[in-house]
Structures are given as structure tokens and as C-alpha cells.
Structure 1
């Protein structure tokens, strides 16, 4: 049935409005989600640089936790604060030198509970370092071809850098997707990839693990769930690095165990 021209135009206008209403959530999510994803990739690159600088600082400073943590913190500061000038960098570091994240989220709430970085020394072995009992210099200078001894003289660390997502709407959606991906919580909200699906209930088929639970702050998944419930959306970026020790290890730097913590989590 053919509509008269004025009536046909009105009909087409209503159809365009319906199509726009259906497509708008997807378009908004694609734009904001892409921006948040690229910021996450930037955080990943910074974390890789940070763990390299951390292991180098530890290699030069007898495996010191403080030296490694501070080196990683300085590298990760651009993810939470403007550091375009030396003064801005110094101010940002002063607020976070005890390894507190301290970032204001998209809703204006200040997040101070979590750390910026967490470091675990996988090598040298803590028990072996403590057994040296003042003979660190002698052991460091003694020549050896033993693979085990070479491993003990290598500083190997793994690090998690907590990245705070702050792009409105994208942080909320992507955080719930990550929780579903890690089998921490079902995704039970509206599906942004299918606007017609008002409510969903799924998690990823793949069995993706968050890795070891022996971080200084405890289990990564438990903290993601707790902070997510508070409206703070964080993602743990995990990286790894190793370097030959350039200074002998000091037992005093390993009194707290393999984990590095500058404040109580």
C-alpha cells in the first residue's frame, strides 16, 4: 500500500528514530570502549617498561624492595596523574611513594585502598639469601659454572600493576566483562553488543586464570570483586622480568620474604 508523500516522510522519520535508538548504545560503547582499550594497552606498555626498570634498580641495589617499587611507581605515574613537568612528577610521586594508588574515579570518588604495583621476587631464593649470614660479598665474587648458582645470582621478579579504568560507561561494562572472563562473576547486565538483549547471563567459555595468589596484597580476584562492588574498576596488568645481579644480595632486604610491600594492604 503506497502512502501519500507527507505521510511517507513522517513514517520514514519515525523509523529512523527507532533505528537510532537501537544503535546508539552500541555506537557509544564502541567509541568509549575503544578509547578505554587503547588506554589499557598504553598501561600495558608502561608496565613492561616499569618491571624492567624495577629489576634493574633491584640488581643495582642488592635486591632492595624499596628501590624496585619506587622505580616501578615513577614509570606508572602517567596512568594516574599529569607528569608533564618535573614539578608535577615530584608532586605525584610524593603522594604515592608509599605505594598507594590515590586516583579519583569517573564519579569523583577518591580511591586510596589499593597499591599501584606489587612485586614478588622469584629468584634468588629467600631461604638461600638468609643462609648467607654476612657472606653475601664472598658468594657474589666467587667464580662458578653451576647453573644453580647462576640462577641464584639472577634477580627474577614478577609484578602486577593495578590500572584504574576511568572512562565513563566503558569502565563499568569492561570491568564486568573481565570478571566474567576470569570466572569471578556472571555477566548479568544488559549486553552492549546486542541492544535488543536487555538482560544477559554469561561468562566466558575459556578458563582464564589470574595467576598465583601469593601477591603481597592477597588474591587478585577477591580484590577485583570488592573494588568493583564499591564502584572502582581496576584491572591487574601482570608482567615479568629478570636480570643478572650487579651487586650482591643483602639478607636484610629479604626479611619480609619474597613479596615487596611498602605499606600494609
Structure 2
């Protein structure tokens, strides 16, 4: 029986090692990236539930920002901390009742700069609410006027900041998102293909990140700033509407349509 030449076996072994080294980053990302993506999808589902609970709380509490923010906060808590028991839930909420995210990343650093949620009331119109005096006294009077029905419908949009925490996947996906939304082009070595020394991650189509008039400011600017600090966040944007079940109060609209991030 003929055996392969020792030198040939050595070359084949070296080639296999090189191929493994080239493929390993992609394989690792496929595993960690899939896990991070499913966690992001879980956060999206929670955000949809959170915005519904928020608009319902506002409908029951005269359009109150505090009630809406706290309802959304409680729903989003599982994305930042264990809440398996009532005690854990109460502790997690107490740390964040002023709407600070407070979460540790994959490197163990604590992030407290950003809010957990931001809420803007698209309807009713702030000027109309203030024009009714302290409270809408005709709230219980039956009407078929579409304009009045519109003004007595609470419609909100909300952004829930999701903190990505899976090592390596958070870094790669954050750069993909920045490139996709035309926020920052990535031109360094491809982390998924070490042989490619220069990348060009940039979206060919115009993809909008969404409205910029949020209480905390421009979403893209904050994504860039936090990314540079090693914190990888993604804004989950959701929307909900519900007829008011209590009359609107002008005092709840003193700050305009947007809800204060931490002022309650």
C-alpha cells in the first residue's frame, strides 16, 4: 500500500489550517449573530406589547406621560435584567423608574446615558388640548364629528432602545446597521473574512432610520456616539392608537407632544 508523501501531508495540513482560520470568524458570527438576531426580534415583540400597554395607560390616565412611560418600562425590563420573580421585577423597575437604561454590555461596562423608551403623542393636537381649558368638559357628550373623534384618540409612537450584548455579534451587527442607515461607512478589514483587508459596507438604497423629532434628539447621532463609546444600541420603533377612556388634561401637555425623558 502506498502512503502519502510526508511533505505532501504537511502541505495539506497547512492548507487546512489556513482554510479553517479564514472560515472561523464567519462560523462564529453565524452562531453568535443568530443568537443576537433572535434576541433583537424578542425585543421587537416586547416593544410592540410595550407601546400597546403605554397607549392604554395614557387612555386611562388623561394622556399622562408618566403613566405611559412606566407602563412601557415594565414591559421592556426583561431585555435588561432578570425579572422572574416579583421581587426581581420590583427591584429592576426601581432602578429605572426615571427611565435610565442601566445595562451592562458584553465587556461588563455599565451604560446609563440613554433612556429605555421615548414617547411622542401624534394625536391629539397639543393646541387643541390647551384650547379646552384644564380638561375636556364635553368628553362624555356623544358626537359623530370625525375631527372631534380624532382629537379624542390617543396616538403615540415610541422608540425602545435595545442594547445588544452578545460578544463579537454586537460589534459586527452595529457596524452593519450604521452602514445600512448611511450613518457611517465601514472600510476596515472585513471581520468575517480576514483575507479581505478593505471592506465597503454601505447601503446602495436609501433606507430611512425614521423620524428625528424625538425627545432625546436625533436617533442616528446617538447611535454613532454610543457606538464610539463601545455601547451598541438599536432603536426599536413602534406605534399604537386608542380612543381616550378619560378626558384629556392640559397639564399633561405642558411640555408639548413629546414626553419628557426623565422629568417625572
Q: TM-score, normalised by structure 2?
A: 0.95
Alpha-carbon deviations, 1:98-132, whole Å to 9, x = none?
Answer: 000011111111110000000000000111001xx
User: In the superposition, relative to structure 1, how do residues 32 and 189 fare at CA in structure 2: closer, same or farther (>3 Å)?
Assistant: farther
How far 1:11 moved relative to its partner? 2.6
How far 1:144 moved relative to its partner? 1.3
How far 1:9 moved relative to its partner? 2.8
How far 1:189 moved relative to its partner? 2.8
Deviates more, 1:12-21 or 1:85-94: 12-21
How far 1:10 moved relative to its partner? 2.6
How far 1:36 moved relative to its partner? 0.6
Alpha-carbon deviations, 1:1-43, whole Å to 9, x = none?
Answer: 9984433333322221111111101101111111111110000
SS of match in other structure, 1:108: coil
Task: Provide the rounded CA distance (Å) in 1 between the counterparts of 2:226 and 2:2.
Answer: 58
How far 1:191 moved relative to its partner? 2.2
Alpha-carbon deviations, 1:28-84, whole Å to 9, x = none?
Answer: 111111111111000000000000000000000000000000000000000000001
Q: Which runs of 5+ in 2 are unaligned?
A: none
User: In the superposition, relative to structure 1, how do residues 264 and 223 fare at CA in structure 2: closer, same or farther (>3 Å)?
Assistant: farther
Contact kept in structure 2, 1:66 and 1:262, CA below 8 Å: no
Task: Provide the rounded CA distance (Å) in 2 between the counterparts of 1:16 and 1:2.
Answer: 22
How far 1:136 moved relative to its partner? 3.0
Task: Provide the rounded CA distance (Å) in 1 between the counterparts of 2:166 and 2:67.
Answer: 32
Contact kept in structure 2, 1:63 and 1:155, CA below 8 Å: yes
Task: Provide the rounded CA distance (Å) in 2 between the counterparts of 1:4 and 1:217.
Answer: 67
Q: Which runs of 5+ in 1 are unaligned?
A: none
Contact kept in structure 1, 2:47 and 2:160, CA below 8 Å: yes
Task: Provide the rounded CA distance (Å) in 2 between the counterparts of 1:262 and 1:192.
Answer: 36
Alpha-carbon deviations, 1:216-239, whole Å to 9, x = none?
Answer: 000001101110111111000000
SS of match in other structure, 2:137: helix
Deviates more, 1:152-161 or 1:200-209: 200-209
RMSD over aligned CA atoms reads 2.0
| 2:184 alignment partner in structure 1 | 185
Contact kept in structure 2, 1:53 and 1:72, CA below 8 Å: yes
Task: Provide the rounded CA distance (Å) in 1 between the counterparts of 2:253 and 2:263.
Answer: 17
Q: TM-score, normalised by structure 1?
A: 0.94
Contact kept in structure 1, 2:60 and 2:244, CA below 8 Å: yes
Count of paired positions: 263
Contact kept in structure 2, 1:26 and 1:195, CA below 8 Å: no
